Amino acid sequence: MGVWQLLMVGLVMLLGLLGVLVPGVPGPWLVWAAMLWWALQVQTGLAWVLLVASTVLLLVTQVVVWQLPPRRLRGVGVTRRMAVFAGAGALLGFVLVPVVGAVPGYVGGIYGSERLRLGRHGEAVASTRAVMRAVGTSVLVDLFACLLVVGAWAGAVLWG
């Protein structure tokens, strides 16, 4: 697989990660489609194992998300800036502390956004809790699963 194709797969995966943060965009399915394209092009044992594992992981994630309470975006004041901060925090946390760092990074990103908006620690903490109750858990589950898939793909590309 050429460099340009790898860059395109990586770009689609990045769009999928961003799509998790935007309501209505099928982020996990974009990540899965990129993984499928990569596996079909590379056709190695590792590629097939990663495709099957990512398929199972993303399907289980969808079941978990469906079991969570529905999203209530309007009442808690979720903004695009907050989504950007949360996504950047999760990505930074994932890189700094592999895998488990995405969770505190995500919550920290929401807190940072609310701290800038509200100015006080107590109000930012209360707002972060409200956001996490309303939308954070389902987005976090999707984002974490997609980060695992992208991380596995990146590891396979760098290793092979």
Average pLDDT, the chain: 88
Output the pLDDT for position 112: 94
Alpha-carbon distance 108 to 29, whole Å? 26
Looking at residue 56, its pLDDT comes to 97
Dist CA 151 CA 154 (whole Å): 5
User: Residue ranges of the chain with pLDDT lower than 70?
Assistant: 69-76, 99
What's the pLDDT score for residue 1? 79
The CA distance from 138 to 133, in Å, is: 9
For residue 156, the model assigns a pLDDT of 94
Rounded alpha-carbon distances, angstroms, from residue 68 to 7, 21, 128, 137, 142: 34, 17, 18, 8, 12
Q: How many other C-beta atoms are found inside a 10 Å radius of the C-beta of residue 62?
A: 15
Q: Which pTM does this prediction carry?
A: 0.73
**Tens digits of per-residue pLDDT, 126-155?**
989 888 887 777 888 898 999 999 999 999
Residue 71: its pLDDT value, please? 62
